[in-house]
C-alpha cells in the first residue's frame, strides 16, 4: 500500500542522498559548536536519526537543509547542557593560529568566538545563508542576527589582528 520507511523521500531525495549531500554541513556545525570530534559525531548521528524517525515533510531542499542545521544546533546545545564537558572559552583562546596553508580556513578563529557569534558567522559565511534564513534556524529576530553578525565580524578582525592596534 504505502512506501516503507527506507523508501521515504525528503524534498525529492532518498535518506542516503540527504546524508551524502548534507553530511559536511551538519558535521561542520557540530564540530564548530562542540569543538570535540567524538561529541560532534554523536550530535551528527542524532540529527540524522531524528530525520529518519520523524520523517517531516519539506517544501524544498532549502527547507530540508535549514531543518537539519537547526536540529544539529539544538542537538549540540542539548549535549552541552546535559554533559557540561564542552571546551571552555579560555581553552579555545589558547588554540594555535593556523599554519600558512590553512589561512583560508576560519575554523580555528570561529572556535574562539562565543557560540552565538560562532553560529551566525558560520551559517552566513560558510553555509552562505541569508540573514532571514539564519534567523529562522536560530529562532532569533533578523535584527538580532544582523547585530550578532556585525559583532562577530569585529571579533574576527580582532582575532586576525585587524583591529588597528
Q: What is the pLDDT of residues 6-60, one digit of tens each?
A: 578 999 999 999 999 999 999 999 999 888 889 999 999 999 999 999 989 999 9
28: domain range?
Answer: 9-86
The pLDDT of residue 107 is 72
Q: From CA 30, how far away is CA 122, in angstroms rounded? A: 11
Give the closest residue to 92 by CA, choosing from 36, 148, 44, 41: 36
Same-domain status, 72 and 128: no
Q: What is the pLDDT of residues 81-131, one digit of tens each?
A: 888 644 444 444 444 444 434 434 567 778 888 888 999 998 998 888 999
Same-domain status, 82 and 104: no
Same-domain status, 58 and 107: no
Number of structural domains the chain divides into: 2
Threshold 0.85, pTM exceeds: no
Q: From CA 61, how far away is CA 137, in angstroms rounded? A: 14
Amino acid at each position: 500500500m504505502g512506501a516503507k520507511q527506507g523508501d521515504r523521500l525528503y524534498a525529492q531525495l532518498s535518506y542516503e542522498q540527504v546524508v551524502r549531500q548534507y553530511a559536511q554541513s551538519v558535521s561542520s556545525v557540530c564540530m564548530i559548536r562542540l569543538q570535540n570530534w567524538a561529541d560532534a559525531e554523536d550530535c551528527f548521528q542524532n540529527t540524522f536519526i531524528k530525520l529518519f524517525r520523524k520523517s517531516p515533510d519539506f517544501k524544498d531542499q532549502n527547507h530540508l537543509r535549514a531543518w537539519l542545521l537547526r536540529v544539529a544546533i539544538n542537538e549540540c546545545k542539548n549535549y552541552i547542557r546535559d554533559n557540561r564537558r564542552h571546551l571552555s572559552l579560555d581553552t579555545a583562546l589558547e588554540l594555535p593560529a593556523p599554519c600558512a596553508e590553512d589561512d583560508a580556513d576560519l575554523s580555528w578563529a570561529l572556535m574562539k568566538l562565543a557560540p552565538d557569534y560562532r553560529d551566525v558567522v558560520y551559517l552566513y559565511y560558510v553555509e552562505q545563508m541569508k540573514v532571514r534564513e539564519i534567523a529562522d534556524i536560530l529562532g532569533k529576530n533578523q535584527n538580532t542576527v544582523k547585530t550578532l553578525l556585525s559583532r562577530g565580524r569585529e571579533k574576527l578582525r580582532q582575532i586576525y589582528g585587524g583591529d588597528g592596534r
